[in-house]
Amino acid sequence: MVDFSLRRAVEADFPAIRQLIRESRLNPTGLNWRRFIIAQTAQGDFAGCGQIKPHSEGTLELASIAIKEDYRDKGLASQVIRRLLADEPDRPIYLTCRSELGDFYQKFGFRTLDLGEMPPYYRRLSRLVNFFLRLSKKRLLVMSLEIAEKEI
Tally of CA atoms within 13 A in the half-sphere of 138 that contains its CB: 8
* pLDDT bracket for residue 2 (50, 70, 90): low
Residue 137: predicted pLDDT: 79
Burial class of residue 137 in the structure, from the number of CB atoms within 10 Å of its CB (0-12 exposed, 13-18 middle, 19+ buried): exposed
- pTM of structure: 0.90
For 1-90, the fitting CATH number among 3.40.250.10, 3.40.630.30, 2.40.340.10, 3.40.50.2000 is 3.40.630.30
Q: Residue 52 pairs with which residues in a beta bridge? A: 62
Spell 12-41 as b/e; 16+ CB within 10 A means b.
Answer: ebeebbeebbeebeeeeeebebebbbbbbb
Indicate the domain borders of the chain. 1-90, 91-152
Q: pLDDT tens across 81-107, in order?
A: 999 999 999 999 999 999 999 999 999
**Helix ranges, the chain (H):** 14-23, 76-87, 102-106, 120-132
Q: pLDDT tens across 27-69, in order?
A: 898 899 999 999 999 999 999 999 999 998 899 999 999 999 9
Contact 5, 38 (CB under 8 A): no
Could you tell me how many residues make up the chain? 152
